[in-house]
Amino acid sequence: MATVTIQIGEKYYSKDPLSTELGRKIVYAGIEMLDQLGFEEFTFKKLAEKIGSTEASVYRYFENKLKMLVYLTSWYWAWMEYMIDHKTHHIQDKELKLKEVIKILCHVDQGHLSMDLPGVNTSSLRRVVVSESDKTYLTKKVDEINNQGLFKGFKGLCHKIATIISDVNPAYPYPHAFVSTILEASHQQAFFAMHLPSLTEIKKESARTVEQQVYLFIDALIFKVLK
């Protein structure tokens, strides 16, 4: 199994959480608690109790829980971008390359890559991103966060995929708008299948996994539009 270490810039935190054992505990336990509780119910007090530390110690690493969520989602986007580079650099056919990108975004093959960070559950991290990532920009602080450059990872991922879209169809006029829409749709359809099933044809209980069904939907949508 290949491994990769994801590094996030210092603007995302007050103190690098990966530089100390306590910081790593905060990140790993934070992912699990956000997955279990959701952003609204998650607090630094609960996190500190879980890891046997103090609330003040958590604040030494992250200014608030929104900054922590931005850090974790940025980590995820960087991971996605690395996976795209890792899995598609050898593919010359433009459409096959795009199909591989869609598989990565939909997590059709979840077993081929892990982070070289003990304790990180990448499935939990993805569930956090699916359920909570929109809270990083659907906030009154979105302009402040953007001006700090904290959406750079998401923008970079969108631009990389938009470039691949343009390679497939150079005449298509909305590659970035399409990619940002597709990224949200891939998360929403998985979320709807699990929690609001009347809003989607993706089924939680099916011969195919939710990820496989979302992939088929997104793949059909992208190539229908581009052709």
For residue 7, give Cα distances in angstroms to 12, 115, 196. 11, 11, 35
Q: What is the DSSP letter of 107?
A: T
Contact (CB, 8 A) for 91 and 167:
no
pLDDT at 86 over 80: yes
Q: Compute the distance between CA of residue 143 and CA of residue 224 in angstroms, rounded to an integer.
A: 34
Q: What is the chain's length?
A: 227
Per-residue model confidence as pLDDT tens digits over 156-208? 999 999 999 999 999 999 999 999 999 999 999 999 999 999 999 999 988 89
Cα–Cα distance, 215 to 74 (Å, whole number): 22
Residue range 203-212, pLDDT digits in tens: 998 889 999 9
- The residue type found at 113 is L
- The residues with which 4 forms a beta bridge, in sequence order, are 115
Q: Between vectors from CA 148 to CA 144 and to CA 149, what angle results, nearest 5°?
A: 120
User: pLDDT tens across 90-139, in order?
Assistant: 999 999 999 999 999 998 875 544 444 456 778 889 899 999 999 999 88
Residue 8 pLDDT > 80: no
Instruction: Specify whether the CB–CB gap between 31 and 72 falls below 8 A.
Output: yes
Tell whether the torsion through CA atoms of 86, 114, 40 and 63 is positive or negative. negative
**Cβ atoms within 10 Å, residue 89:** 8
Tokens of 153: 């990872």
Domains of the chain as residue ranges with CATH? 2-226 (1.10.357.10)
Give the pLDDT band (50/70/90) at residue 32.
very high
Q: How far is CA 156 from CA 25, 54, 79, 180, in A?
A: 28, 35, 12, 11
Q: Whole-angstrom Cα distance, residue 56 to residue 61?
A: 9
User: The whole model's pTM is what?
Assistant: 0.88
In this predicted structure, the answer to whether residue 216 has a pLDDT above a threshold of 50 is yes
Inter-residue contact 25 to 92 (CB < 8 Å)? no
**If you ran DSSP here, which 8-state letter would residue 112 be given?**
S
